[in-house]
Amino acid sequence: MWGHFERHVPADNMARFYHLEIQPTLFGDWSLRRSWGRIGTRGRDRYEVFATAAEALAAARRLEVLKCRRGYVRLPEQLDLPLGQGA
């Protein structure tokens, strides 16, 4: 996982998410998955493939800057722990 962003504007009834995920492909390339939509929905997905992890990371960072300029806030990463474990 790379980053999860949200934007809330109660006056406009707006609650949106934007999710970025970098992962290797089966063919040795790297993919950047972008998911976005209204919070509580599945949203939409788009995949981009890059030759190196550095290229995928640079693209993710560019998108992070763009989304933060538009009012999105990056949320802290959360661990996926089974119920009953963790703090």
How is the chain split into domains, by residue range?
A: 3-70
pLDDT at 86: 47
pLDDT tens figures, 10-58: 999 999 999 999 999 999 999 999 999 999 999 999 999 999 999 999 9
Look at strands 14-24 and 30-38 and give their pairing: antiparallel
The third-level CATH classification (topology) of the domain covering 3-70 is q64v53_bacfr protein fold (2.20.140)
pTM for this predicted structure: 0.81
Gyration radius of the chain over CA positions? 15
Q: Please indicate whether residue 78 or residue 36 has the higher confidence score (pLDDT).
A: 36
Q: Which of 34, 41, 7, 31 is nearest to 20 (CA)?
A: 34
Q: Which of 53, 83, 63 is nearest to 4 (CA)?
A: 63
Statement: residue 87 has pLDDT above 50: no
